[in-house]
Structures are given as structure tokens and as C-alpha cells.
Amino acid sequence: MVSRSGQQATSPGYGSVLPDIEGALAVAQDIPDQNLEVTVGEGAEKYRNDWENIFQ
């Protein structure tokens, strides 16, 4: 699936691992690193709490 032919078969409309895959919406190398202040610790807890409050 990570070979060029595998990416061409599975990535149209999605992100690809390899560059220059026709139809891919994004390339993994263009996706920024996650913001750890938001995704772990107190930032993540606040995010989860906000969403839980919306759906309760």
C-alpha cells in the first residue's frame, strides 16, 4: 500500500504518503506536526470536556 502503485490505488480523494499521486488531496509531508499543547495534557482535557458538554 505504500508503494507508488499502492498509493495510486488507495489515495485518490484522500492523503498520500508519496508525492505526486494523482487525485490525492494532500501529501503526508505537507501536514504539520501536531500541536502538543492542544492534543495532550490540560489542552486535551479541556477539548474533551468542551465536546462532552456539547453532547450531554
Distance CA(6)–CA(27), nearest Å, equals 14
How do the pLDDT tens digits run along the chain, 56 residues long?
889 999 999 999 999 999 999 999 999 999 899 888 888 888 889 989 999 999 98
2 Cβ neighbours under 8 A, 6+ residues apart: 17, 18
Question: Model pTM greater than 0.85?
Answer: no
